Amino acid sequence: MLVELTMHRADTSQRSANSPIDGIRILALLPEKWHKDLMRASKDIVIRVDTADDTTSDQIQATVTAALTDPAISHWELTSCHPLDPGPSAEDDS
């Protein structure tokens, strides 16, 4: 399944600048078998994930939510887990 994850800072009382390092930390906490691309890491963190299997968006959301409990990034929260159309596959060309 291909999804786009969007996260934003949960604790807006902190005035420190958002760091791209947080995006990298989140990537590191997601399953190794997932293909992950950090799309943006400024005001929001946007990560595109392809699980390459039948994982559901609910399962992805639960995995990401659990990863965001890590103290190093617990100030981020998942705001959307949007499924994307993977486009035509090579099998569709036959």
* pTM: predicted TM-score of the whole model, two decimal places: 0.82
Q: Which long-range contacts (CB under 8 A, 24 or more apart) does 14-21 make?
A: 14/75, 18/42, 18/43, 18/45
Q: For 36-58, what is the mean pLDDT? A: 91
Q: Structure tokens of 10? A: 């949960």
Fold of 2-11+19-86: Alpha-Beta Plaits (3.30.70)
- Which positions ≥6 away from 44 have C-beta within 8 Å? 6, 7, 8, 79
What's the angle, vertex CA 22, arms to CA 12 and CA 67, rounded to 5? Answer: 90
Domain borders along the chain are 2-11+19-86
What's the mean pLDDT when you consider all of the chain?
87
pLDDT band at 85 (very low <50, low <70, confident <90, very high): confident
Residue 81: pLDDT band (50, 70, 90) is: very high
Q: Is the pLDDT of residue 14 over 90?
A: no
| 48, 34 contact by CB (below 8 A) | no
